[in-house]
Amino acid sequence: MKIRHIIILSWIILVIAPLALAWNQLDSIAERSIYETIADFNNKFQTKDSISFTFIVAFLSTIFTLIIGLPLAWNLGRYNWPYHNILRSIFTVPFVMPSILVAMGFLALLDWISFLTDYNHSTEVRFYFLLLAHAWFNLALVIRFCEPLLSTIDSSYEEACRLLPSGKTQISRFRNFWLPLMWPNIAASSALVFVFSFTSFALVKFITPTQRNLEVVMANQSEWAGLSVPSLSRTPSEIVMASSTIQLVTIIFALIISSWLQSRSSGHHLSTLNDARKSVSFKSLRGLYIILMLIFIISPMLSLISSSFMIRENNMMTFSLDGWESAFGGSRSPTNAYQSLKTSIGYALMTIFLSLPIGFLLADTIFNLEKTNPKSATILDVLVMLPLALSAVMVGLGVLLGLMRTDPEIARSWWIPLYGHLMLTTPFVVRVLLPAMRNLNPRLEEAASLLGANYLKRLIFIRISLLTPSIIVASSLVFAISLGEFGASWVVLRFTEYTTLPVMIGDLLSRPGYDPILRPAANAAGTILLLITLVLFISVERFRPVGSGGEF
Amino acid sequence: MYKNKVFLMCLIVMCSVFTGCLGNDDSSDNDMKLNIVSYDAFGVSQELLDQFSNETGIIVEITRAGDAGGVLSTAIQTKGTGLFDMSIGIDNSYLGTALSADIFQPLDTERSIFSSRALSSYDGDLAIPFDVGSVCINYDSNYVDGENVTIPTSLWDFTESEWDGKLAVQNPRTSSPGRAFFIATVDYFSKDDDNQTNYEDWWKSMRSNNVIITDGWTTSYESHYSGGYGQWGDGFIGDAHAVVSYCHSPGVEAYYGDNWTTSVALDVNGASFSQIEYVSFLSGSDKSKSANTFVDWLVSSEINSQMSTINWMYPAIEGGDVIEDSGYRWHSLVPIDCDIDISEIDNKISMWLDEWDSAMA
């Protein structure tokens, strides 16, 4: 029990400490109050319209994602398709794609569309593309939250509904049966889609470069915020404080709603252990819909892959392997794709090693608290999810300040980037394991306890044994997210010897593209990342049993 | 279940194998290793740096920190810690701030090897110039054909309707070329014939004329500018027919475009900023000998004369020029730049930027 408390306390410190350090530093420089700064937002170019833009984008993206995601979740949950696991992997893999790659993919797609339709995309079109990219990115949240429940509701319940006056039509069954059953899951997934769209950085930065959401505003100020030169850092510090306050309050509110709704979603007893899905083939109208959705998902990926083979030569685009040669040869970057992939895999495995036990203990604690102290369970749950809500700027600044004040040499340690990976992945371990723990039959452990099995034996032979599929799914998620992690590694000092694949891509993209090989090389490195993640997801999907394996 | 356990076992074995990839090689962490913070776009290749290491035994470790402002902010944040030994890329628009922050130590570099332009902003021993280039407006000659649209002769011409939404500039708070051009406008409008208006009036007029403002050079040049290489890449919009870039950017375009480009640098006296980039030895480091060796190598005739192809800038040494291949030199303009003192920039930049922020809102 003591180790559990230490880990939970360490987690809280790891989450809160950088934030507190950064806040303290910003506060010592800022002169105006947060309220005054926010009131002045629309009078300054840096911040003008950023609040409304952030909320509009997050709100519209959430609606857009639900419109696209719910029918897809329904079709994956209620029907058994040929190659179902592969389909499910493809539909959920966008979520773990590094956002910088998603932006590149969508920009490449925009180009193909303008090439095929002869229509030069304007800033307005890009806004809608941003919403589409958010929907593409967050589709997995809606599917993962809704599909497991849908796949285990026995069709006899719906048959029974048909006999009732209020369940005669499809619409009335949806309103009176499916919606009341599904709404906690729909609302919980909406809350998370809202959070991710609210904090979106790379997609906004690359797809709508002339508009700024709060995350971009903060990133723009990050150079000078908190610096001990007040004449330069006062305004940036005030802007970062005000922006992060709006962001934090909004997101904590959304996460509380999400956590509360999720704990409610385990309240019905209509799920069966049986697979309730009907088999269906692609040769139907429903099949056509799935194929169209598949095209929607894979087209940005295909655009990215095809761009890696196209190179500018004598002012025209031609097929070439030079980008791939450069990526693997490292001729345009400090490291090559082999080396950075090796570093990425090293970090990803280390992250699994750390975030799995931490996430397991956090999930277990929340699970136990739900029975004894639901309020504390919600608070801990929000605290677990909080890192996803923190701006990379605040975390980066906090880590940097913390390290500078203690021992600057630590900043050069190989394990520093692990911090960002850990913060980003552990919430997902909890999200996968917690619902799986809720599904465990408590009598098994009670029986083992009566037979004399101690806590460790019960943990190894019952809990971990039964949760193994979920642990494998969580591992793959951690591995994929860590492999694609870009934001935190980019903000914390980037030392060459720890260059991961996404950082190498960012490095190639941040140089002027006069040299025609730079962009194809970045696309080639991106393609490697994409293919590894895809293969990983497809191979692990079979471990996810129907209806279980978590709400994520 | 057996399959699952095998999977977990494999995972544990892989963890132990791969985590070995992350160890730090401490053997080189001594006087013979230079930790340098540079901007992202610093183009000196790893091959050249390896060549330097082979010749001198000094290992160079480059950490990238965004743009010139990022380098300065990192240098200030890590001041006196010894985390970084040197900085590369702080330019003359930031140099005044850097000097005030007292973050540099002197270097022994011989000053006589540099061009007068390279020493024009600062000729002391705390910051050594390694390349130069002027920031100015580039235009697409497909649009500015001299008949339907005439070549602008004053910055005021960009406030006319034919330039409505067609000039892309960078946010001076977030981009080094954007900041350089902004400083040029401050100086340009303070010295023009019209005493009734200043830079604020011009920027306000530009706002009314829908000037495109991006956070970085890459977006404005690659996505918005119709006359650059961006037209061949992903996400091209091409709605701007003029962009703030370097006066030799058309030369670089021609170099990579087989002596073909439609991009031209605008030649308006005083409407450009002569950007000088410096290498410095940071306070807190005790690797003076290695730092001097590196600077001597960077400004040596052999390396510095290649700046136009390795860092897309003019060499800082006397007689240095961009190369002539593929029309690089022919398409590069050497303008009459604005003339503004670095201490004035340091004293007034915060005020100017605040005024710009309000004018553009």
pLDDT at B44 over 50: yes
Separation between Cα atoms, residue A432 and residue A454, nearest integer Å: 26
Q: How far apart are the first and last CA of chain B?
A: 62
Share of chain A above pLDDT 70, in %: 91
Residue identified by tokens 């890590």 is B78
Nearest to B22 among A42, A414, A471 (CB): A414
In contact, B326 and B142? CB cutoff 8 Å? no
Residues of chain B positioned with their CB less than 8 A from the CB of A507: 40, 64
In contact, B186 and B199? CB cutoff 8 Å? yes
Q: State the amino acid at position B257 in one-letter form.
A: G
Residues of chain A positioned with their CB less than 8 A from the CB of B23: 414
Separation between Cα atoms, residue B328 and residue A505, nearest integer Å: 28
Q: Quick one: angle between helices A230-265 and A374-389, nearest 10?
A: 140
Residues of chain A positioned with their CB less than 8 A from the CB of B8: 468, 471-472
Nearest to A120 among B81, B238, B260 (CB): B238
Residues of chain A positioned with their CB less than 8 A from the CB of B258: 314-315
Nearest to A519 among B233, B256, B312 (CB): B233
Positive or negative torsion for Cα A455, A457, A460, A461: negative
Candidate ranges A272-281, A435-444, B5-14, B15-24; pick with highest mean pLDDT: A435-444
How close B343 comes to chain A (CA, Å)? 14
B32-132+274-324 and B134-273+326-360 share one fold: yes
Mean pLDDT of all residues belonging to chain A: 83
pLDDT at A64 over 90: yes
User: Stretch A380-384: mean pLDDT, rounded?
Assistant: 86
A-B contacts at Cβ under 8 angstroms: 198
Cross-strand bridge partners of residue A289: none
Q: Report the pLDDT value the prediction gives residue A119, as an integer from 0 to 100.
A: 66
State both tokens at A280: 């269906």
In contact, A401 and A25? CB cutoff 8 Å? yes
Cβ within 8 Å, pair A510-B64: yes
pLDDT at A445 over 70: yes
Separation between Cα atoms, residue A514 and residue B328, nearest integer Å: 12
Residues of chain A positioned with their CB less than 8 A from the CB of B215: 205, 209, 212, 216, 220
Q: How far is CA A141 from the centre of its chain?
A: 9
Q: Exposed, middle or buried: residue A124 (CB in 10 Å: 0-12, 13-18, 19+)?
A: exposed
Candidate ranges A227-241, A450-464, B94-108; pick with highest mean pLDDT: B94-108
Residues A493-503: tens digit of each pLDDT: 666 667 888 88
Residue A211: closest C-alpha in chain B: B214
Cβ within 8 Å, pair A494-B215: no
Q: Report the pLDDT value the prediction gives residue B105, as an integer from 0 to 100.
A: 97
By mean pLDDT, which of A28-32, A395-399, A533-537, B56-60 is the weakest?
A: A395-399
The string of DSSP codes covering A512-536 is -TTSTTHHHHHHHHHHHHHHHHHHH
Residues near A442 by beta carbon (within 8 Å), at least 6 away in sequence: none
Residues of chain A positioned with their CB less than 8 A from the CB of B233: 111, 312, 513, 519
Q: How far is CA A240 from the centre of its chain?
A: 23
Separation between Cα atoms, residue A287 and residue A308, nearest integer Å: 31
Residues A312-323: tens digit of each pLDDT: 887 778 898 988
Cβ within 8 Å, pair A331-B47: yes
Nearest to B361 among A42, A207, A510 (CB): A42
Cβ within 8 Å, pair A44-B15: no
Nearest to A352 among B11, B40, B41 (CB): B11
Considering only residues A3 and B214, tell me which one the structure prediction assigns the higher pLDDT: B214
In contact, A243 and A212? CB cutoff 8 Å? no
Separation between Cα atoms, residue A150 and residue A547, nearest integer Å: 8
How close A179 comes to chain B (CA, Å)? 36
Chain A (236-295) residues lying within 8 Å, Cβ to Cβ, of chain B = none
Nearest to A352 among B15, B239, B258 (CB): B15
Cβ within 8 Å, pair A507-B40: yes
Residues near B256 by beta carbon (within 8 Å), at least 6 away in sequence: A312, A514, A515, A516, B229, B326
Rounded to 10 degrees, the C-alpha dihedral A153/A154/A157/A160 comes to: 160
Mutate to test the interface with A, among B63, B77, B282 (most CBs of A within 10 A): B77
SS (H, E, C) A464-486: HHHHHHHHHHHHHHHHHHHHHCC
Q: How far is CA B207 from the centre of its chain?
A: 25
Residues of chain B positioned with their CB less than 8 A from the CB of A472: 4, 7-8
Mutate to test the interface with A, among B22, B99, B349 (most CBs of A within 10 A): B22
Residues A165-217: tens digit of each pLDDT: 777 787 888 787 878 888 888 888 898 899 989 988 889 988 888 889 999 89
Q: Report the pLDDT value the prediction gives residue A264, as an integer from 0 to 100.
A: 67
Return the domain boundaries, chain A.
51-212+269-307
Residues of chain B positioned with their CB less than 8 A from the CB of A44: 357-358, 361
Cβ within 8 Å, pair A514-B40: no
pLDDT at A17 over 60: yes
Helix (H) or strand (E) holding B59: strand B59-64
Helix (H, G, I), strand (E, B) or coil at B281: strand
Q: Report the pLDDT value the prediction gives residue A271, as an integer from 0 to 100.
A: 58
Q: Quick one: angle between helices A2-29 and A230-265, nearest 10?
A: 140
Nearest to A229 among B76, B81, B173 (CB): B76
Separation between Cα atoms, residue B60 and residue A292, nearest integer Å: 51
> Domain A51-212+269-307 carries which CATH code?
1.10.3720.10
Separation between Cα atoms, residue B246 and residue A403, nearest integer Å: 38
Q: Is A512 on the interface with B (CB under 8 A)?
A: yes
Cβ within 8 Å, pair A513-B22: no
Residues B114-129: tens digit of each pLDDT: 999 999 999 999 999 9
Residue identified by tokens 């519209």 is A60
Distances in Å between the Cα of B30 and the Cα atoms of B33, B82, B129 are 6, 12, 27
Q: Is A419 on the interface with B (CB under 8 A)?
A: no
Share of chain B above pLDDT 70, in %: 92
The string of DSSP codes covering A51-76 is HHHHHHHHHHHHHHHHHHHHHHHHHH
Cβ within 8 Å, pair A346-B62: no
Cβ within 8 Å, pair A46-B1: no
State both tokens at B76: 């200030």
In contact, B251 and B65? CB cutoff 8 Å? no
In contact, B71 and B87? CB cutoff 8 Å? yes
Residues near A301 by beta carbon (within 8 Å), at least 6 away in sequence: A105, A530, A534
State both tokens at A374: 């639901």
In contact, A363 and A437? CB cutoff 8 Å? yes
Q: State the amino acid at position A362 in one-letter form.
A: L
Distances in Å between the Cα of A145 and the Cα atoms of A120, A140, A141, A188, B276 are 38, 8, 6, 8, 55
Cβ within 8 Å, pair A472-B4: yes
Cβ within 8 Å, pair A513-B257: no
pTM for the model: 0.86
Residue B217: closest C-alpha in chain A: A512
Could you tell me where the DSSP H helices lie in B173-300?
Answer: 176-191, 199-208, 217-218, 249-256, 288-298
Positive or negative torsion for Cα A56, A59, A65, A68: negative
Q: Which CATH architecture has domain B32-132+274-324?
A: 3-Layer(aba) Sandwich (3.40)
Q: Report the pLDDT value the prediction gives residue B150, as an integer from 0 to 100.
A: 93
Q: Exposed, middle or buried: residue A419 (CB in 10 Å: 0-12, 13-18, 19+)?
A: middle
Separation between Cα atoms, residue A427 and residue A423, nearest integer Å: 7
> Domain B134-273+326-360 carries which CATH code?
3.40.190.10
Separation between Cα atoms, residue A246 and residue A250, nearest integer Å: 6
Residues of chain B positioned with their CB less than 8 A from the CB of A343: 21-22
Q: Report the pLDDT value the prediction gives residue A545, as an integer from 0 to 100.
A: 58
Considering only residues A146 and A347, tell me which one the structure prediction assigns the higher pLDDT: A347
Residue B25: closest C-alpha in chain A: A497
Cβ within 8 Å, pair B4-A543: yes
Q: Report the pLDDT value the prediction gives residue B155, as an integer from 0 to 100.
A: 95
Residues of chain B positioned with their CB less than 8 A from the CB of A517: none
Residues A86-107: tens digit of each pLDDT: 888 889 888 888 787 888 888 8
Q: Is A235 on the interface with B (CB under 8 A)?
A: yes
Cβ within 8 Å, pair B11-A48: no
Residues of chain A positioned with their CB less than 8 A from the CB of B34: none
Considering only residues A546 and A489, tell me which one the structure prediction assigns the higher pLDDT: A489
Cβ within 8 Å, pair B77-A104: no
Return the domain boundaries, chain B.
32-132+274-324, 134-273+326-360
Cross-strand bridge partners of residue B62: B36
Candidate ranges A25-39, A358-372, A475-489, B104-118; pick with highest mean pLDDT: B104-118
Helix (H) or strand (E) holding A237: helix A230-265
